[in-house]
Amino acid sequence: YNHADVDDSFVKLAMVGRPNVGKSSLINSITGENRVMVKDMDHTTRDSIDTKFKFKEENFVLIDTAGVRRLSKIWVRNIEDWSVMRTNRAITRADVIAVVVDGVQGIVHQDLAIISKVLEEKKWLVIVVNKWDQVLAKPGIDKDKMMNRYIDYLKAKVEFLPWVSVVFTSATERKRV
């Protein structure tokens, strides 16, 4: 679509996070369509992809971004630099940033770096804990207490959490999207 079609009446929501946390799957779940390519491998999404949709008479644009990860291999550096640049641009363009975290792996350094960037840009922040179905499937998990425990864990990792919304989702099962 044409970027000129998107004016200030649209809420622009950027999905950001590391590779393979489920950003594209979440967008497909939210829109109810397979608009974004999903593969269980790094670098499936190399650029930002915008998806327009309407929810309760409100216009939204979902901005899917390439995953951001640490640079370690010299030969992927150009792609990585491009991904980081595109993610930063998406954060700047968006009104609301959803930092998508892998619920099983938890919050890691890269997630904290992305959250810092969102705060620096003074944007609305939502932490989306995806793959919640996998967290609850672990043996010995107290399903009734797990969300509160996870919020305590997030508060320990991210001191500024009290004003941040936390959403527990399962993109593949379309739960709480």
Q: What is the pLDDT of residue 66?
A: 58
Task: Kindly tell me the burial class for residue 28, based on how many C-beta atoms sit within 10 Å of its own C-beta (0-12, 13-18, 19 or more).
Answer: buried
Task: Kindly tell me the burial class for residue 135, based on how many C-beta atoms sit within 10 Å of its own C-beta (0-12, 13-18, 19 or more).
Answer: buried
Q: What is the pLDDT of residue 34?
A: 63
CA angle 177, 10, 63 (to 5 degrees): 55
Q: What is the pLDDT of residue 52?
A: 83
Q: What is the pLDDT of residue 77?
A: 56
Give the length of the chain: 177
pTM above the 0.75 mark? Answer: yes
Query: Per-10-residue mean pLDDT for the chain, 177 residues long?
Result: 67 88 85 56 48 85 66 52 73 92 92 88 93 94 91 83 85 87
